[in-house]
Amino acid sequence: MSCIFCEIAAGRIPARKLFEDDQVMAFHDVSPQAPTHVLVIPKAHIPDLDAVTAGHGTLLGELLLAARKAAAQTGLYGGYRVVVNRGADGGQSVGHLHLHVLGGRPLAWPPG
């Protein structure tokens, strides 16, 4: 089954890429919810947070470090938010694990 984020990771669908390495990629969200809205994905297909196992520990660390790097590269010195949506009630619409990095304006809490 095709997965849009797998296609982006493979370079078959274009994206506004910030950076990538062998494990992760960061690119701008096509429908930004804040002045800066970057997605960080593992290149390997992991459907959602519930599919993560203890064996993914190193990868999870890489994803968080990539989120921090994306915030720094986009100049979010005033702060930012990292979000993982999981499942329908969590607002997940793409079935490939991803971190949202949001910033560039004050973000309300709690989120909607």
Angle 70-76-77 (CA atoms, 0-180°, nearest 5)?
125
**Min dist. Cβ of residue 71 to ligand AMP (A):** 17
| Whole-angstrom distance, CA of residue 72 vs CA of residue 51 | 29
Footprint on this chain of ligand AMP (rule: CB under 6 A): 4, 15, 29-31, 39, 85, 91-94
For residues 60 and 46, is the Cβ–Cβ distance under 8 A? Answer: no
| Whole-angstrom distance, CA of residue 37 vs CA of residue 3 | 20
Active-site residue flag, 98 = yes
Closest CB to ligand AMP among 82 and 94? Answer: 94
Closest CB to ligand AMP among 73 and 92? Answer: 92
**Min dist. Cβ of residue 84 to ligand AMP (A):** 8
Sign of CA dihedral 2, 14, 101, 88: negative
**Min dist. Cβ of residue 5 to ligand AMP (A):** 8
Catalytic, out of 37, 96, 98, 100: 98
For residues 111 and 96, is the Cβ–Cβ distance under 8 A? Answer: no
Closest CB to ligand AMP among 31 and 53? Answer: 31
Catalytic positions are: 98
